């Protein structure tokens, strides 16, 4: 008889201070259940895609239950957490006999009444299925501690940011669960914390000295029998466990797991300052000085408005509009109202817009202007980039607008602009532009680092600043964490 393994996922990266609350309806809209989940995620570079593929490899039966991924936005409502719990638990209860459960959880979901959303979901599943082993797959930006996994046998997180290994992470979770079921052995599982809080912009895994420490984790895996996750954490979700974590799942036992997690934690702590300042961040004025006087280049300059967390900040657009910097592309600005307005007006129309800046007062004032509608309508596509390759994205009402030297694609859902898709879907190319204004932190790197003339990271007065000391924490004890405690 084949082992029957259930898969369920619930993911949101929450900026806890954002007033933009993600309620149940968005999770309902993004939800995949049962065979639809299997059909849509099979063959994609997502955790679900990797789980499905590895279960096939292991001749195990995949029982797809539920998945809803809301991306990176504000807090979840309490209702949204209860909705996910209900969908997962009732789905599992209706699934018949189960030998194991793989859960995909972000790790940095934040909701008002749930101090650790991921722990809450894991515990709920465990209480409903106390004898069924649970293994968890997480985002590299998750905030976790040992308490999170009281009722899980093991957890793994993405190795890379950009997260080009989502599918591989799903496979790693299945391999651990499979070994538990086939051998009856439970691996050692240890977590350790270097007490470092880093901004997302410094969490790219190609940046030194983080890259070398992560490489040493891969070497420990080669010489041992273990799976190690070095996690950046997520500075903008305020919880008692906010910050970096090292997790080690070790078949040589608990001591071996602790030793490796401690060793890597010490290496991170020793390099805390260098990790936190691994690349230069500039002001908007410095960016404009770098770009002017304008000299055409064969490749575009990427300007990263990294502190924007909701894809609707206007600081960069205001700064670049009307300046002699060439043609500027602003991909996937999140503004459902303006997108709908442009769809109603139709292609070729001129409309008065108050564009962006609606998610919070930190996002800047809306860009008020007369915009020409280059294209408008509904858009959906399959991701062509490596991260989430093959996954379906539905942008809803979408518009391509022109305001002076800016060409802005306006979308109705939060969508990552990290590869060529924001251009390809309009039959354009990134190299058609002189400047591309992105809001990515690390995920743009896979596509844009090889294609960009230069990358200018600007720090704007927004919810995700490079200096985390500007943030107000109520849950995290900053007195023991770097950069507050040196």
- Which residues of the shown chain bind Zn ion in the complex (CB under 5 A)? 139, 141
Q: What is the smallest separation between the CB atom of 140 and Zn ion, expressed in angstroms?
A: 5
Half-sphere exposure of 206 (CA within 13 A, CB side): 11
Q: Which is nearer to Zn ion, 143 or 314 (CB)?
A: 143
Q: What is the smallest separation between the CB atom of 75 and Zn ion, expressed in angstroms?
A: 17
Q: What is the smallest separation between the CB atom of 139 and Zn ion, expressed in angstroms?
A: 4
Q: Which is nearer to Zn ion, 241 or 376 (CB)?
A: 241
Judge whether 418 and 265 are in contact, CB under 8 Å. no
Q: What is the smallest separation between the CB atom of 234 and Zn ion, expressed in angstroms?
A: 8
Q: Which is nearer to Zn ion, 237 or 333 (CB)?
A: 237
> In angstroms, how far is CA 383 from the centroid of its own chain?
15
Q: What is the smallest separation between the CB atom of 12 and Zn ion, expressed in angstroms?
A: 11
435-438/328-334 β-pairing: parallel
Q: Which is nearer to Zn ion, 141 or 172 (CB)?
A: 141
3-class DSSP state of 316: helix
What residue is closest to Zn ion based on CB? 141
Q: Is the dihedral of CA 328, 334, 338, 340 positive or negative?
A: positive
The C-alpha R_g of the chain, in whole angstroms, comes to 22
Q: Pseudo-torsion of CA 170, 176, 181, 184, nearest 10°?
A: -170
Q: What is the smallest separation between the CB atom of 441 and Zn ion, expressed in angstroms?
A: 9
- What is the maximum span of the chain, computed from C-alpha positions, in angstroms? 70
Among 394, 337, 438, which residue's Cα sits nearest to residue 71?
394
Q: Which is nearer to Zn ion, 12 or 339 (CB)?
A: 12
Bond preceding residue 312 cis, omega within 30 of 0 = no
Q: Which is nearer to Zn ion, 72 or 174 (CB)?
A: 72
Q: Which is nearer to Zn ion, 376 or 442 (CB)?
A: 442
β-pair partners for 126: none
Q: Which is nearer to Zn ion, 141 or 272 (CB)?
A: 141
Q: What is the smallest separation between the CB atom of 415 and Zn ion, expressed in angstroms?
A: 15
Phi, psi of 263 (to 5 degrees): -60, -45
Q: Is the dihedral of CA 385, 388, 394, 395 positive or negative?
A: negative
Q: Which is nearer to Zn ion, 118 or 139 (CB)?
A: 139
Bond preceding residue 162 cis, omega within 30 of 0 = yes
Sheet bearing 435-438, strands edge to edge: 350-355, 367-382, 392-403, 406-411, 328-334, 435-438, 301-305, 454-458
Q: What is the smallest separation between the CB atom of 46 and Zn ion, expressed in angstroms?
A: 13
Angle made by CA atoms 276, 282, 284, in degrees to the nearest 5: 140
Angstrom distance (rounded) from CA 351 to CA 368: 10
Q: What is the smallest separation between the CB atom of 387 and Zn ion, expressed in angstroms?
A: 10
């Amino acid at each position: 008889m084949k082992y029957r393994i259930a898969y369920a996922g619930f993911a949101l990266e929450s900026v806890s201070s954002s007033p933009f609350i993600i309620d149940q309806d968005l999770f309902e809209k993004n939800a995949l259940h049962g065979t639809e989940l299997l059909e849509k995620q099979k063959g994609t570079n997502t955790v679900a895609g990797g789980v499905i593929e590895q279960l096939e490899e292991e001749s195990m039966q995949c029982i797809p239950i539920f998945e809803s991924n809301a991306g990176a936005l504000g807090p979840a409502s309490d209702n949204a957490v209860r909705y996910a719990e209900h969908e997962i638990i009732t789905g599992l209860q209706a699934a018949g006999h189960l030998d194991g459960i793989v859960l995909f959880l972000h790790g940095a979901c934040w909701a008002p009444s749930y101090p650790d959303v991921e722990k809450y979901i894991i515990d709920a599943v465990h209480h409903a299925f106390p004898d069924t082993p649970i293994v968890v797959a997480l985002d590299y930006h998750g905030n976790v501690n040992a308490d999170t996994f009281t009722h899980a046998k093991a957890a793994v997180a993405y190795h890379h940011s950009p997260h080009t290994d989502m599918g591989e992470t799903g496979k790693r979770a299945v391999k651990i669960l499979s070994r538990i079921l086939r051998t009856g052995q439970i691996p050692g599982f240890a977590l350790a914390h270097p007490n470092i809080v880093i901004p997302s912009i410094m969490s790219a895994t190609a940046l030194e000295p983080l890259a070398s420490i992560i490489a040493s984790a891969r070497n420990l895996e080669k010489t041992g029998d273990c799976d190690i996750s070095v996690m950046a954490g997520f500075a903008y979700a305020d919880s008692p466990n906010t910050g970096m974590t090292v997790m080690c799942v070790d078949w040589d036992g608990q001591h071996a797991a602790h030793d490796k997690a401690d060793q890597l934690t010490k290496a991170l702590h020793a390099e805390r300052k260098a990790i936190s300042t691994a690349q230069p961040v500039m002001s908007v004025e410095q960016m404009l000085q770098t770009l002017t006087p304008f000299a055409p280049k064969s490749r575009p300059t990427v300007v990263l408005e990294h502190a924007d967390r909701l894809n609707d900040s206007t600081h960069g657009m205001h700064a670049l509009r009307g300046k002699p910097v060439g043609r500027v592309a602003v991909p996937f600005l999140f503004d459902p109202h303006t997108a709908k307005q442009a769809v109603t007006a139709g292609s070729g129309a001129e409309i008065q817009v108050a564009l962006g800046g609606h998610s919070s007062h930190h996002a800047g004032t809306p860009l008020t202007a007369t915009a020409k509608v280059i294209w408008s309508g509904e858009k959906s596509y399959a991701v062509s980039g490596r991260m989430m390759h093959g996954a379906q994205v539905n942008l809803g009402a979408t518009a391509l607008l022109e305001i002076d030297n800016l060409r802005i694609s306006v979308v109705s859902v939060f969508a990552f602009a990290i590869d060529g898709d924001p251009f390809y879907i309009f039959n354009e190319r990134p190299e058609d532009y002189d400047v591309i204004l992105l809001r990515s932190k690390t995920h743009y790197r896979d596509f844009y680092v090889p294609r960009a003339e230069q990358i200018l990271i600007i720090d704007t007065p927004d919810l995700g600043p490079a200096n985390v000391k500007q943030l107000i924490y109520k849950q995290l004890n900053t007195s023991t964490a770097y950069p507050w405690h040196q």
